[in-house]
Amino acid sequence: MPQQIYFLIQMMLWSFQQEFSEGELMEPYSKDTTLRDYLRIIFKHKYLIIITVIPVMIINYVIAEFNTTTYDASVKVVVSGTKRTEATYYKELSRNPKLVSDHAALVSSRQVITPVVMALKLYELPDDYEKNFASPLKRLWIDYMLKQRERVKRNNPDRLDPEKEKAIRINSAVLGLSSRVGVQPVEESNMFLIKIRDFDPVRAAIIANSVSRSYVIFDLQQQLSELKLKYGEKYSTVIQIQAFIEELKKTLDGNPLSDMETLLPASVKIVEQAEVPDEPAEIKSKTGVLAVSFLGGLMLGVVLSLVTGFYDQRFKSPLELETFLKIPLLGSIPKVKKENKLLTEETKESSNYTKAFHNIAEQLYLLIRDKQLKTILVTGIESSKEIPVITANLAAYIGKKTNKNVLIINANLRTPGTIQAFNIPNSYGLGEVLEGKLGFEDAIHDIDGTISVLPAGNPTLNPLNLVTSSNMAAVIKKVSEIYEMVFVICDGLNDYQDAVVISSMLDGVVLVVNEEKDRKPVVKFAINPMEQRKANMLGAILNNRTYVIPDIVYRLT
């Protein structure tokens, strides 16, 4: 299983390299990609790695539990001993040791295996023979399979008579033993090993001895047939070989023999009899299996996370956002779990969330001051409740620090709702002002000495017609004369053109990008109309920023 995992990883990496050669598709992993970028992807997809490692470990553990320990017993056999006939086959065999492998292939033939099965009565072994040596999990599986087999037998109206059933069991035993016979040639010699694998080490040695002797009998029978044809049945050598065969058949019980030479005048001789093996054929520690499985699953999980990160079109870092959009980065806002994200007097100044807003607000204020701007559009790709909160936090901080009069206008006429940050009712607002139902001054809500809010209201006319009307331009002009700084909220760039229209009326645009949701092609497509209108893109804010790399790892890299 670890080899299969390694092969899969190699194939995935090869595919990865192929896509890299295609150029633009591999932009997330360029020559400027740092170790932190890779670590960020890996830690971001840590759950993918975990759900990869666990199944791999479980599967390998189950496989290890199902692989019952086996033992190999071997008998060393030499070919081209004392020959009673000079048949062409044996002449070639003695001159070419490489033919030993062909000759040894006969060991697993039915003519050799059947006498062993009958002599040792292997067909009488119970169906759950392996159960005595298996793990608890494998025992449960064996019991289940036997119950299924018994159920099939009970439902089968045609019962086999004992003779037929015995014949089936003998045939099954022959096939089973044949599959457990192995032949290994000894290099640079005319010898080979006959190997038998069994769950019981003692039985493995007995079967190995029995198979080797059955093979010698088979070889003698081949010589006997040729001698009979050449000299007849009364020939002394024929009688002698027949006696050897009968004597050797008595040794098919597999017990060790003290003097093999007296029994082996054939062209095949047993050099070494099988001994009971002390060690299993394959020593597999379950701890080792789990360790290798863990490492293999970890490697596979890391590769999957990198592949997932490659195909993930979301922004992975503020630097990537700035590079891709080619607009200045104002900063990033960390993701927080609390619902009310408005900064208040009680908010801890030392929190990362608070520091993020302070840094962004100060940078934004410097841009506004240096470029002598007044009206700023704060927009996003999708309609979101977070953009009003972000705008409120930035406006409140700038207003308090600079002691300037700041106005927040909610221009989300399609989804007016309320500005949750200040809990202002939305019974009237910008919509009514644009429709001429209400005066501008009557729609303003004063929050404190520096912050005022103009809600969206509940317009009855088409919002796009309202924002493109002369009344909207008049409102923008009027508020810019009254207030020192104006923030206009209008998101949903991907769905509506309202923000695009408003952007051409204002001094600058701040784009809020959601790290969790917004994808690069969508963002690029959404802001393209504003760029065509020559909107002044002041910068971008990466919202819901996640810091997945642990601090200690971040410092080390």
**Helices 46-66 and 136-155, packing angle to 10 deg:** 70
pLDDT band at 55 (very low <50, low <70, confident <90, very high): very high
Instruction: Please state which of the ranges 95-109, 114-128, 362-376 shows the lowest mean pLDDT.
Output: 95-109
SS3 (DSSP) at 445 = strand
Is 39 in contact with 244 (CB distance < 8 Å)? no
Q: What is the pLDDT of residue 381?
A: 92
Q: What is the pLDDT of residue 270?
A: 87
What average pLDDT score do residues 70-86 get? 74
What average pLDDT score do residues 98-119 get? 81
Q: What is the pLDDT of residue 449?
A: 76
**Which residues are CB-contacts of 84 (< 8 A; sequence separation ≥ 6)?**
223, 227, 237, 241, 265, 266, 267
Cα–Cα dist 146/169, whole Å: 15
> Which CATH code for domain 315-556?
3.40.50.300
Q: What is the pLDDT of residue 514?
A: 92
Instruction: Please state which of the ranges 176-190, 321-335, 363-377 shows the lowest mean pLDDT.
Output: 176-190
| Three-state secondary structure string covering 51-90 | HHHHHHHHHHHHHHHHCCCCEEEEEEEEECCCCCCCCHHH
Which amino acid is it at 93? L
Cα–Cα dist 342/391, whole Å: 10
Percent of residues, the chain, with pLDDT higher than 90:
40
Percent of residues, the chain, with pLDDT higher than 70:
83
pLDDT band at 88 (very low <50, low <70, confident <90, very high): very low
Q: Is the pLDDT of residue 485 over 90?
A: yes
| Neighbouring C-beta atoms of residue 160, cutoff 10 Å | 12
What average pLDDT score do residues 349-356 get? 78
What average pLDDT score do residues 83-97 get? 47
Each domain of the chain, given as residue ranges in start order, spans 2-66+284-310, 71-272, 315-556
Tell me the pLDDT tens digit for each residue of 195-204. 999 999 999 9
Alpha carbon of residue 414 to chain centroid: 43
What average pLDDT score do residues 49-54 get? 93
Q: Is the pLDDT of residue 502 over 70?
A: yes
pLDDT band at 268 (very low <50, low <70, confident <90, very high): confident
What average pLDDT score do residues 223-250 get? 85
| β-bridge mates for residue 375, sequence order | 486
Instruction: Please state which of the ranges 161-175, 257-271, 404-418 shows the lowest mean pLDDT.
Output: 257-271
pLDDT band at 22 (very low <50, low <70, confident <90, very high): very low
Instruction: Please state which of the ranges 26-35, 80-89, 406-415, 489-498 shows the lowest mean pLDDT.
Output: 80-89
SS3 (DSSP) at 513 = strand
Q: Is the pLDDT of residue 87 over 50?
A: no
Q: What is the pLDDT of residue 221?
A: 87
Q: What is the pLDDT of residue 52?
A: 93
pLDDT band at 266 (very low <50, low <70, confident <90, very high): low
Q: Is the pLDDT of residue 547 over 50?
A: yes
Tell me the pLDDT tens digit for each residue of 393-425. 899 899 888 888 999 999 988 876 655 566 777
Q: What is the pLDDT of residue 149?
A: 85
What average pLDDT score do residues 529-537 get? 91
Cα–Cα dist 483/405, whole Å: 5
Q: Is the pLDDT of residue 168 over 60?
A: yes
Q: What is the pLDDT of residue 23?
A: 37
Q: Is the pLDDT of residue 222 over 50?
A: yes
